[in-house]
Structures are given as structure tokens and as C-alpha cells.
């Protein structure tokens, strides 16, 4: 019995373009390109008994205050936001022989070895009337100072930019060498 092979009819693919267009338009409409990015911070745990003040030596604190008119004060002196980064940078750089600079502590850090870390704390206070914009601007300047120092440490010890470090242990080491100590005080009124 000679039988001709039945041919499977070809599927018409001309509507494929229409279907994919439809999908394309759907994704075009629903898409939002914004990647979420921001300044990451850790809040301190709640204070159990507010009367107990932790004593920190005065030389170890950089007092940053913002009042309700968005004016800045650093260690009791009025300051412009453009100077804040350099002041912070100066404050957090370990200076073992300076009596006025914050204390230093020699720590052993993996991959780096003995490293002098700074015990300084940046204390940030703001008024209830401060604008969020100013607050973020200040946080940004502080972050800039810390990132600069991290970059420096990363360059001296690993010969690599901090942002290019892929090894998690190395990132950890740099973060340990330059701890970001920003203390946000309990809210209070600032005149």
C-alpha cells in the first residue's frame, strides 16, 4: 500500500508580531525604571533608662546640630554645609599624637593587620522643624567623609577602589577599619 505522507500544515506565524507587540506594550506601560537606592543607616536600640548617660570624652565627639532654619552648627560654631565634609574627614582621620583629636585604638583586623582605628563619634542632632532635605544633605556629607576614608584604606591595603572590591572579606575588613559611627540623639528642641 503506497501511502502518501500527510503533511502537517504550517502554522501561520504572521500574527506572532501582533501578539508580541501586545505584550511589549503591556510591559512598556507597567515598567518603572527606578531602582531603589538611598543612604542606609542603622537606628540605635531604644534606651532602657534614659537617665543613664553614657559618658564619652569630649574629644571623641563631633557635635553636628541643625536648627529649624536649616542652619548648621559644628562643635559650637556656625558652619556652612560645604565645610562639613572636610571637618568630618579631619575628625575621623586617626591622629595618634594629637591631644585634641579623638582617641585611637589599635585593633587587629584580618587581611589588614594591626590598624589604628578612630574612636570618634559623630553626634547628629536636629530640630523637629528641620527640613528633610537639609537632613539628608548633612547625612550625605557625613557619608562622603566616611567613604573617602574607606577609599583611602582600601587603596593603601588592597590597591583597589573600595567600590571595586569584590571580596566580601576585604569589604568587611575596610568597614571594620573605618567604622561609621553616627549617633542620632534623642529628639529635642534646638534653639
By CB under 8 A, name the binding residues for other proteins: 13, 16-17, 20-21, 23-24, 27-28, 30-33, 35-46, 126-133, 135-137, 139-140, 143-144, 147, 184, 187
**In angstroms, rounded to a whole number, what is the distance separating the alpha carbons of residues 6 and 128?**
82
Is 37 or 114 the residue whose CB approaches other proteins more closely? 37
Minimum Å gap between C-beta 76 and other proteins is 21
Minimum Å gap between C-beta 149 and other proteins is 13
Among 183, 181, 165, residue whose Cα is nearest residue 173? 165
Minimum Å gap between C-beta 94 and other proteins is 21
Is 127 or 177 the residue whose CB approaches other proteins more closely? 127
**In angstroms, rounded to a whole number, what is the distance separating the alpha carbons of residues 142 and 144?**
5
Minimum Å gap between C-beta 101 and other proteins is 24
Is 135 or 157 the residue whose CB approaches other proteins more closely? 135
Is 37 or 97 the residue whose CB approaches other proteins more closely? 37
Quickly tell me which residue has 542632632 as its cell.
Answer: 125
**In angstroms, rounded to a whole number, what is the distance separating the alpha carbons of residues 112 and 172?**
11
Backbone angles phi, psi at 16, to 5 degrees: -55, -45
Minimum Å gap between C-beta 21 and other proteins is 6
Q: How far is CA 41 from CA 32, 55, 144, 191, in A?
A: 26, 23, 14, 26
Is 51 or 189 the residue whose CB approaches other proteins more closely? 189
How deeply is 154 buried, as exposed, middle or buried, from its count of CB atoms within 10 A (0-12, 13-18, 19+)?
buried
> Residue 3: CB partners within 8 Å, gap ≥ 6?
none
Amino acid at each position: 500500500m503506497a501511502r502518501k505522507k500527510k503533511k502537517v500544515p504550517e502554522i501561520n506565524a504572521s500574527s506572532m508580531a501582533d501578539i508580541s507587540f501586545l505584550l511589549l506594550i503591556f510591559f512598556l506601560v507597567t515598567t518603572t525604571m527606578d531602582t531603589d537606592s538611598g543612604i542606609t543607616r542603622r537606628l540605635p536600640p531604644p534606651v532602657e533608662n534614659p537617665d543613664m548617660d553614657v559618658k564619652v570624652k569630649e574629644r571623641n565627639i563631633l557635635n553636628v546640630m541643625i536648627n529649624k532654619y536649616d542652619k548648621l552648627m559644628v562643635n559650637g560654631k556656625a558652619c556652612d554645609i560645604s565645610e562639613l565634609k572636610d571637618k568630618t574627614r579631619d575628625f575621623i582621620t586617626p591622629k595618634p599624637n594629637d591631644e585634641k583629636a579623638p582617641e585611637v585604638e589599635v585593633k587587629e583586623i584580618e587581611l589588614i593587620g594591626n590598624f589604628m582605628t578612630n574612636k570618634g563619634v559623630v553626634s547628629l542632632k536636629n530640630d523637629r522643624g528641620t527640613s528633610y532635605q537639609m537632613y539628608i544633605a548633612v547625612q550625605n556629607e557625613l557619608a562622603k567623609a566616611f567613604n573617602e576614608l574607606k577609599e583611602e584604606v582600601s587603596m593603601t591595603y588592597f590597591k583597589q577602589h573600595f567600590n571595586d572590591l569584590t571580596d566580601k572579606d576585604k569589604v568587611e575588613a575596610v568597614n571594620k577599619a573605618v567604622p561609621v559611627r553616627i549617633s542620632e540623639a534623642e529628639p529635642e528642641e534646638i534653639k
